[in-house]
């Protein structure tokens, strides 16, 4: 009989995520995502960590979020880029959309980061949004939080 552990050498634990948050943003633990930060004027950044299946890729995740946004009313893509950050593949997507019910305009600022640990792959999702009325103030802050991200993985013993 063999004993396995989680996290462990075969089953890697999730990556840890750290980021810098500007003054005026409030941490909101317990809302579902790994981390949530909100601004009083409606800006929000959610950090999610998702384990990918062996057949899933960063490209698959990028296509899925782009297709989801494209279905929203008033969709206008403003930025799309694939880069490397800290040696990890990333995908950035920014778009302007309208809320399906209220029809108010919003800015979506998304960064996906692929974290590979042996055969295990996680997707760190930095999902930012803010009302269009405050986009010129909040979107740069959301981007700065995304740019400050530090990801660490625990090495297997």
Q: Are 66 and 80 in contact (CB under 8 A)?
A: yes
3-state secondary structure of 134: helix
Position 8 pLDDT exceeds 90: no
pTM of the model: 0.91
Rg for the chain (alpha carbons), in Å? 17
Q: Given this model, what pLDDT does residue 81 score?
A: 95
Positive/negative CA dihedral, 9, 82, 39, 97: negative
State pLDDT tens for residues 125-148: 999 999 999 999 999 999 999 999
Q: Given this model, what pLDDT does residue 21 score?
A: 97
Residue 63: both structure tokens together: 């296509």
Residue ranges of domains in the chain, CATH in brackets:
16-152 (3.40.1000.10)
State pLDDT tens for residues 31-83: 778 999 999 999 999 999 999 998 999 999 999 999 999 999 999 999 999 99
Residue 25: both structure tokens together: 């943003």
Q: Are 95 and 146 in contact (CB under 8 A)?
A: no
State pLDDT tens for residues 29-41: 987 789 999 999 9
Q: Given this model, what pLDDT does residue 101 score?
A: 87
Confidence of residue 156 (pLDDT cuts 50, 70, 90): low
Of 148, 152, 137, nearest to 24 by C-alpha is 137
Q: Which residue has the tokens 């750290």?
A: 18
Q: Given this model, what pLDDT does residue 145 score?
A: 97
Position 157 pLDDT exceeds 80: no
Residues 6+ apart with CB under 8 A from 80: 66, 92, 93, 94
Q: Given this model, what pLDDT does residue 88 score?
A: 94
Number of H helices, E strands in the chain: 2, 9
């Amino acid at each position: 009989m063999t004993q396995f552990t989680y996290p462990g050498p075969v089953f890697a634990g999730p990556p840890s995520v750290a980021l810098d948050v500007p003054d005026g943003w409030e941490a909101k633990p317990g809302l579902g995502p790994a981390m949530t930060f909100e601004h009083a004027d409606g800006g929000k950044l959610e950090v999610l960590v998702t384990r990918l299946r062996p057949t899933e890729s960063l490209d698959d995740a990028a296509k899925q979020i782009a297709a989801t946004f494209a279905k929203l009313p008033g969709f206008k893509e403003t930025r799309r880029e694939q880069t490397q950050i800290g040696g990890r593949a990333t995908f950035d997507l920014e778009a302007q959309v309208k809320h399906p019910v209220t029809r108010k305009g919003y800015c979506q600022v998304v960064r996906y980061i692929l974290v590979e640990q042996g055969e295990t792959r996680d997707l760190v999702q930095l999902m930012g949004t803010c009302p269009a009325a405050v986009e010129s103030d909040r979107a740069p802050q959301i981007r700065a939080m995304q740019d400050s991200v530090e990801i660490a993985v625990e090495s297997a013993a």
